[in-house]
Amino acid sequence: MLTLADVHTHYAKSHILHGISLEVEPGEVIGLLGRNGVGKSTTLKSIMGLVRPSQGRITFEGRDITGMASHKVAHLGIAYVPEDRRIFRLLTVMENLRTGLDRGGLTEARRKDLLDKVYESFPVLGERKNQLGGTLSGGEQQMLAIARAMMLEPKIILLDEPTEGLMPRMVSQIRDIIERLHREGVAILLVEQNVGLTLSATSRCYIMEKGLMRHHASSAALRADPSVIHQYLGV
């Protein structure tokens, strides 16, 4: 469904991605592991059209989306939950959700379904729907960022370090929502530092090092043989 073939990306003069290839099939939950600064976030940004690859091809459902404007990428069914969450701080929780809900072709009943689903998964968002996004705690902002992405009814969600800096209780809530999205058939490309969570939530993992894809294996195999993880991640 989503394919990256030999993608190179630069920021100004620094060469971040040195030819990344990966593939996500419909409904798959895939992990992208690696130390800080190896280009995991840049990979997601390249898919989302937030940085333009200098070389290589990104296709989604057979369509070339390399360097496409991000709003068009979003319309194709790719949602993005950035590492720093990027909540609209001066918009209320409800208005944050509306940025994804107010689009053409959505019936009133469907809107209500989507909101009900989100309030059921994240009750705290329902309680605070008229509160400004900037007044939420870090964990609540993370939930809002995921909920906001769900409003787009995406086929795949690019999830960048969703558990970073969260309390254990919140981490398990994030894990639940990943499982729920998986059951509903939404594909997820998960970037995480939390190796345990990633290996248990995903079916396959890619491991990156210095802008290159170094290893690719099933999560079960990586769980069985921790030496690979140790080699690339030092944990």
User: Per rule CB under 8 A, is residue 193 in the interface with other proteins?
Assistant: no
Nearer to other proteins, 89 or 210 (CB): 89
User: Per rule CB under 8 A, is residue 10 in the interface with other proteins?
Assistant: no
Nearer to other proteins, 90 or 109 (CB): 90
Nearer to other proteins, 33 or 144 (CB): 144
Site for other proteins in 34-73 (CB under 8 A): 48-50, 69-71, 73
We find the least distance from the C-beta atom of residue 223 to other proteins, in angstroms, to be 32
Among 15, 52, 75, 230, binds other proteins (CB under 8 A): 75
Among 25, 26, 55, 103, binds other proteins (CB under 8 A): 103
Nearest Cα to Cα of residue 4 among 72, 71, 57, 76? 57
Among 98, 111, 129, 216, binds other proteins (CB under 8 A): 98
Instruction: Identify the bridge partners of residue 156 per DSSP, sorted by sequence position.
Output: 78, 187
Nearer to other proteins, 118 or 229 (CB): 118
Q: What does the chain look like in DSSP terms, one character per residue?
A: -EEEEEEEEEETTEEEEEEEEEEE-TT-EEEEE--TTSSHHHHHHHHHTSS--SEEEEEETTEE-TT--HHHHHHHTEEEE-TT----TTSBHHHHHHHHH--TT--HHHHHHHHHHHHHH-HHHHHTTTSBGGGS-HHHHHHHHHHHHHTT--SEEEEE-TTTT--HHHHHHHHHHHHHHHHTT-EEEEE-S-HHHHHHH-SEEEEEETTEEEEEEEHHHHHH-THHHHHHH--
x-marked contacts with other proteins along 125-144 as a string, rule CB under 8 A: ---------x----------
Size of the site for other proteins (CB under 8 A): 27
User: Per rule CB under 8 A, is residue 217 in the interface with other proteins?
Assistant: no
Q: Which residues bind other proteins (CB under 8 A)?
A: 48-50, 69-71, 73-75, 79-80, 82, 84, 86, 88-91, 95, 98-100, 102-103, 134, 148, 152
